[in-house]
Structure 1
Amino acid sequence: MNTLISVAESLSVIIPILLVVAFTTVAERKTMASMQRRLGPNTVGYYGLLQAFADALKLLLKECVSPTQSNLVLFFLGPIITLVFSLLGYAVIPFGPGLTVGDLPLGILYLLAVSSLSTYGSLRSTAQLISYELILSSAILLVVMFTGSLNLSISVEAQRVITFFVPLLPVFIIFFIGAIAETNRAPFDLAEAESELVSGFMTEHSAAIFVFFFLAEYASIVLICIFTCILFLSGYNSIFVF
């Protein structure tokens, strides 16, 4: 029975997160299209909202091609490990009072450790991630000094009177820039070498195995957004939550 409860709790977090990731890709494509005076996805579903599911179905039905000289175990295991560690970070996220899979006393430390384990790409990409993780860690330490705890729920409850965004505005700006670099978004989206710019480190991956890399990238983006909201914007106590 305990196993079934644990599985149900995990699925209740993973499934909504994957849906959020799917619609995040659509929102990004619509935003980029608007910036470039294009329509963007607008055919599949109302206003193109089902485009993400059409893309996923297309990738799942495509033939999976792998390099003949590659280590097939590592070739297929890499994307799976990347997605797993991206989703493991959500285990300590408090979505509401008492609504968390694992309310760990060292939740912030756990989150930093899990996000570091999914580092991938070339040495150039790794160097960039390490550089900006130092900035992120320094900003997080200031928040920990305010709360006196590494627990994410305590960080949220400590902001009932005033959100940390107000007294720590310069730190928030630094953290925000570091978070953009951490997730390889523009203008920090060229972490790969010139020979890899066709698609990046996942150039040789295709079909279903590419979906793991794609989901892991956007799951990390959503995770860092939630983490930022918890540290600086009061989390589920925010004035923007209805």
Structure 2
Amino acid sequence: MIIYTIEVEDINSFYTLESLKELYGIIWKLVPILTLVLGITIGVLVIVWLEREISAGIQQRIGPEYAGPLGILQALADGTKLVFKENILPSRGNTRLFSIGPAIAVISILLSFSVIPFSSRLILADLNISIFLYIAISSIAPVGLLMSGYGSNNKYSFLGGLRAAAQSISYEIPLTLCVLSISLHAIH
């Protein structure tokens, strides 16, 4: 009777060990992605800090100095303030379009990262047409900009949305031509 219970406990311990291996595998798949995101975030914070310091030096004024040592955390303070600001929706505009527009822009950019290989083992979507899918998905972002401008029911906001969409498209055309030329060269 005791041997039977030991065997059942051993089998149950193997099941838990197997589930821990799966959890361990998932964690190690997320570590490179989170490292990349953390590196990009720190890089952006440093670039924003440098831009503010250099601009302050050119304009002969004091730069950021209150948030953290030497004003390093000023970008985080600005982001926190932006998150907690009151969400103002236009009273005469289409609130659905106004709210869904930024979501479409952000989601399309985040989805485009699904085809980028982070390492030789960490590929979220391994497709033969990954670069073309990247271009197609990231090209949806100007639609979100247009939706927000149109949904505000304000001619100046609409013109701003048109301008932002035109600027995005004007950057995407040379990018697409460069990628297509490299892709065609890689085929031969």
Residue 68 of structure 1, CA deviation: 0.8
Question: Residue 90 of structure 2 aligns to which amino acid in structure 1?
Answer: P
Contact 1:92 1:101 in 2 (8 A): yes
Measure how far apart 1:101 and its partner are.
1.7
CA positional deviation for 1:45 = 2.7
Find the counterpart in structure 2 of residue 136 from structure 1.
175
In structure 2, the CA distance between the partners of 1:91 and 1:68, relative to structure 1 (3 Å rule), is same
Matches within 5 A, 1:111-126: 111-119=134-142, 120-121=145-146, 122-126=161-165
Q: What does residue 124 of structure 2 align with?
A: 101
Cα 1:75–1:123 shift into 2, 3 Å? closer
- Measure the CA separation in 2 of the matches of 1:31 and 1:115: 27
Q: Does 1:13 align with 2:33?
A: yes
For 1:118-197, what aligned pairs fall within 5 Å after superposition?
118-119=141-142, 120-121=145-146, 122-148=161-187
From the superposition, tell whether residues 39 and 78 of structure 1 become closer, same or farther in structure 2 (CA, over 3 Å).
same
- 2-side partners of 1:113 and 1:29: how far apart? 33
The gaps in structure 2 that reach 5 residues or longer are 1-18, 147-160
**Aligned pairs, number:** 147
Deviations 1:87-114 (A, max 9, x none): 1111111222222222221110111011
Instruction: State the Cα distance separating 1:143 from its structure 2 match.
Output: 1.0
Asked if the contact 2:67–2:73 (Cα under 8 Å) also holds between the matched residues in 1, the reply is yes
Query: What letter matches 1:33 in structure 2?
Result: E
RMSD: 3.3
Which amino acid in structure 1 is aligned with residue 172 of structure 2? E
| 2:114 aligned partner | 91
Q: Normalising by the residue count of structure 2, what TM-score does the alignment of the two structures yield? A: 0.61
Distance 1:113 1:11 in 2: 28
Tell me the CA shift for residue 18 of structure 1.
Answer: 6.8
Residue of structure 1 in register with 2:54 after alignment: 34
Distance 1:84 1:8 in 2: 24
Q: Distance in 1 between matches of 2:103 and 2:78?
A: 19
* Higher helix proportion: 2
- Residue identity in the other structure for 1:43: Y
Higher relative contact order (CA 8 A, sep 6+): 1
In structure 2, distance between residues paired with 1:15 and 1:69? 44
Counterpart of 1:69 in structure 2 is 92
Structure 1 residue 145, shift from structure 2 partner: 2.2
- Any unmatched runs of 5+ in structure 1? 150-242
Q: Which amino acid aligns with 1:115?
A: S
- Partner residue, 2:81: 58
Specify whether residues 67 and 97 from structure 1 end up closer, same or farther in structure 2 by C-alpha distance, changes over 3 A only: same
Report percent identity of matched pairs. 31
Moved more, 58-67 or 29-38: 29-38
Q: Aligned in 2, Cα 1:47/1:9: closer, same or farther, shift over 3 Å? A: farther
